[in-house]
Amino acid sequence: MTDPRAVPPNPPPSGEQPTIRNLFAESPASRKPPQVVGNYRLMERIGEGGMGQVFRGEHVKLGRIVAIKLIHPELLQTPRLVKRFVREVRAAARVDHPLIVRAYDAESDGNIHYLVMEWIDGQDLKSIVARRGPLPVPEVLRIALEVALALDHLHQLGMVHRDLKPSNLIQVRTTGQVKLLDLGLARLTEHDGPVDTSQTQTMTRQGDILGTPDFMAPEQAMNAKDVDIRADLYSLGCTLYYLLTASVPFPGGNTIEKLLRQWHEPPPDLRRFRPDVPEPVAALVSQLMAKSLEHRFATPRVVVDALRSLASRPVPLAMPVEDATIPQVEPVEAVWQQQFSDWVESDSTLEEATRATKQATRPKRRSIAWLAASGMAAAALAVLVMLFLNPAPTPNPTDESANSSANAKESADALERDRWYAVIDRQHGTPEAIAAAENLRKLVSPLTLLPRNGANGPHIRIGEANRRHGGWIRGIAASADGERIVTGGWDRIVRIWNRQPWKLRETRSGHDTPIWNVAISPNGRWVAGISGFDTLFDGDVGMERSLRLWDLVEGGEREVFDNMRYGWSVSAAFTPDSKRLLVGQYDSAMLWDLEKSEPVRHFRTDGMNWCMATAVSPDGKFAFTGGGFRDHIRVWELDTGKLVRAFSKSHGPPRCLAIADDGRRLAECSDGTVRVWDWTTGTMLREFRIPNLEMNGVTWCDAGQCLAIVRADGRVVWTAADTGEVLRETQIDGVELTGVTRLGNHGQIAVSASDGGVRRFQSETGTELEPLPAQSIARQLNWLDGDRQLLLIRELGVTEFRPLLPTRAVPAALPSDWRTVAALDDGSEWLGRTNATWQLRNPFTGTVQATVEWREAGQARLATLVPNPASANQRSNGVVAYWPNPRELRYQPWKGPMQIWPMPQQEHARALAVSANGQMLAYGTDRGQVELIALAEPKPRFRVKIDREPIRKLAFTPDGQTVVVLSGNSQVYTLYVTTEAVKPIPNLEGSFDAVAISADGTRLAVGSLVGEVRIHGLLSPGRSRRWSFPSAVRSLRFSRDGAMIAVGLANGCVEIERD
């Protein structure tokens, strides 16, 4: 065989210039044999950028493997781009550093320009994150330090990279070291000779966008030719954010939208999406991504020092804080920090890189401004580290007169604040109260002085973000030994739980629409999440319908079964040996080989569609699929794909299938019924049905002797499998149970619910085991005691207080069976329920001020109190509530007869609001109607149709003259009480489900089901702000002084932001 390296480097005998135009145009499948350019043979194409393509090549004489970058042929006639290519060659030639890919050669062969670089056997970080998911903190810190050293070397040479991103960082396969590559946009900031500024401007003309928008500094987008090394530091911050979250900081949108968000929006809080990231690490990323150059690190050397300080000093751990006002500090070194420190101390290449950076050639002339900026940044870093390490010392003032003046000023401000609070509370809804709110806002709020929860996070976070799902759980499954439970829900997150000890283990994300189904392999290694038909938008249909497969051992995402390549995926089940995955799809089922990462076979027959449920027999020989319009249950031979049997009695596809350990009996849950079959004969053995009540899940217990069934009314029922006798049952109030799974042979089951919680039960007794601390959704928020405390009314009426500042009043104890239904805005009176009795209580004295006996009190919905600001004693006039059955609105004054307004035919009330002065009631229906009722008379005032979509929320402005309407059509409207006119608010659209208006009536806040809060100026409509949160927004409330806004999230957390 001829040695391929013996091919002569000369042009072909024909005398024609060598061309690679066809090589650029080829597809990988049709690529021709390697061609030769200069002294190098092109072997295979490995990448492509804006300037050209990169090939793995070989020197034809020396046999050295290299990387060769060729400029695109169609760009050869553009002098500006040729200059840019030459500039890249010049820049790369000056760089000699162990953490930067080296340049060996630069040549032109006819009209072909190419750059020869060091060949790296590795993988870029973008590909690594796509495969593994978010990286561990110590590994990210290692990468950050290596990249910072590489940037420091470039800075010493007077260079700026200008295209730093994960795909331009390659990890060496053998050493794990990360190297910086592609200096295609590098700009020399200092030169040995005179600079031709006209040529520089030609290469970076105004209007050119050089760089990658997802990782580009704001100033680079505006003027790429004048950026300095701080632009690279911003890109480094975006890159670290991506490595820690597997997401770019500002996802979605086109190029212009991305650039605008980089310029205007504050960087997202890293710890909202990755709570385990330590606070100092989040602070470092936040400072790298600072919008202002003055607030960003000045040089890479300062970043290197900051990273080394993390390795050498103990710092606070990231941990959930139950009391948001008391910081918790771990006195010993954290695990992540120890791992990072060990690497810094042991890596010899790091010392080589540091020495190479210090030896870099740099002009002696140094800018005094640069030195000042670097010194200031270093000093700021030192202060930051000291704050992390040491609590603030006890003040020891030396100037008593100055201290007395400060105390006097503080006391005067406090008295003035209390005076305005009193006006707001006593004259709520009056012009005087609105003026008082305006005056309050002019004073400095003590709430704004509270320390932030994280470097760039909310001022205060209440609760743990990962304790529960943000909304309904739709899928639940367990490993064969029952030690790992996996759940997926409407928040698009897959959570993996430990059975013992009972706690959250880890999370996985990546789905664009809510998760409908989950599966876990018997050995606990593989987890599958399947996105379903629902989204968070109350009836809209999600179109992702894909399956994502994660490897819990090696980490990262293994496969994505998207609907374009494999069709819609709707269910999944693993084989007993954990080597294959059965995927239920729209019109078939697919068997997937996990080791080979390829499909084995498909199962398909006439009339088969929507395989909503799948199962595999214990011996691994048979597959079960449920779905279709007839013969809903089908049995297949797993190894041949042969259809064995088909049978059904239900009117809809099964929601779930469960096979007993004997491998013969199959339990089916569909159309509100549980059926048990002998699948070998197709005979139905037993049927469990309750009219008009949905059965949502079934599993086998006690070695196949009984079935555990979960129902929509919150009840878990254990029945004998052979007789159908109810053995025991357990009720969970206020939730719908959505799924159930057996936990191995431990005699336990795990149950999922509509509140996002997961509960475990002992099958033998029906008792709940080790319940996780409650953290249900805060459906109402109220500021109390002059904004010193926050009241949280959670689901099921659970009441929680959060003191944020030193309090003046402590709430009294409530009866054990008390469930809070509603509260006045100032929290001075609460409405609660004990059995069939509704009571009005003063929360601070505990006295009962009024009682209402309603026989069907537990069936009431949408209850709210009617304010009475004119009264100094009893602050409310009565209560308004809606009864779904018999569809009527009731107003019960504390003094006087009850008023009843029946709903129009086939309409239900969906939202209630009462004006601050207690004069007007507004309610919205599921048919898009809004009606206003004058409570003083009382009689209906007028009725308007907003849209055909349901009304989600209503809110009055403080003066009672305007109603803000959130419609199901994603539009926000203003309804004017005096004129009955309805107008949409421009530029305010989204799936909003929460609303609040500031006490001075100037600002409107709306929160969406996709985790967005927008602040809109009511008096200046052009003014708008927005925040992003990791979960759907379910409640909002401005503080009385307007300085802060509390946001209740679907994951049970409450976050407080400064407006």
- Strand 580-585, strand 589-593: pairing: antiparallel
Q: Which amino acid is at 676?
A: V
Question: 3-class secondary structure for 178-229?
Answer: EEECCCCCCEECCCCCCCCHHHHHHHCCCCCCCCCHHHCCHHHHHCHHHCCH
Annotated binding site for ATP: 69
> Rounded to whole angstroms, how far apart are CA atoms 704 and 665?
9
- Strand 899-902, strand 888-893: pairing: antiparallel
Cβ burial of 409 (10 Å; 0-12, 13-18, 19+) is exposed
Could you give the maximum distance between any two Cα atoms of the chain, in Å?
109
Residue 774 CA to chain centroid, in angstroms? 21
Annotated binding site: 69
The closest of 586, 589, 555, 557 to 572, measured between CA atoms, is 589
Catalytic-residue membership of 163: yes
Cβ burial of 1027 (10 Å; 0-12, 13-18, 19+) is buried
> Rounded to whole angstroms, how far apart are CA atoms 191 and 189?
7
Instruction: Name the 3-class secondary structure at 1001.
Output: coil
983, 422 Cβ separation under 8 angstroms: no
Q: Classify each residue of 413-444 as buried b or exposed e, where b means 16 or more C-beta atoms within 10 Å of its C-beta.
A: eeeebeebbebbbbbbbbeebbebbbbbbeee
Any idea of the CA torsion for 435, 436, 441, 443, to the nearest 10 degrees? 130
699, 708 Cβ separation under 8 angstroms: yes
Instruction: Name the 3-class secondary structure at 995.
Output: strand
Please identify which of the residues 109, 152, 163, 825 carries the catalytic annotation.
163
Helix, strand, coil in percent for the chain, rounding step 5: 20, 35, 45
Residue 401 CB neighbour total at 10 angstroms? 8
> Rounded to whole angstroms, how far apart are CA atoms 773 and 202?
63
Task: Kindly report the backbone phi and psi dihedral angles of residue 237, in degrees, each rounded to the nearest multiple of 5, phi listed first.
Answer: -60, -45
> Rounded to whole angstroms, how far apart are CA atoms 1020 and 1041?
19
> Rounded to whole angstroms, how far apart are CA atoms 12 and 582?
56
117, 92 Cβ separation under 8 angstroms: yes
549, 556 Cβ separation under 8 angstroms: no
Instruction: Name the 3-class secondary structure at 127.
Output: helix
Cβ burial of 797 (10 Å; 0-12, 13-18, 19+) is middle
Residue 414: which H helix or E strand, with range? helix 400-426
Cβ burial of 107 (10 Å; 0-12, 13-18, 19+) is middle
The closest of 96, 95, 76, 73 to 86, measured between CA atoms, is 76
> CA neighbours within 13 Å on the CB side: how many for 1023?
10
Instruction: Name the 3-class secondary structure at 788.
Output: coil
991, 1010 Cβ separation under 8 angstroms: yes
Question: For residue 63, what are the contacts with CB-CB under 8 A and spacing of at least 6?
Answer: 5
In the block, residue with structure tokens 């693993």: 574
State the catalytic residues.
Answer: 163
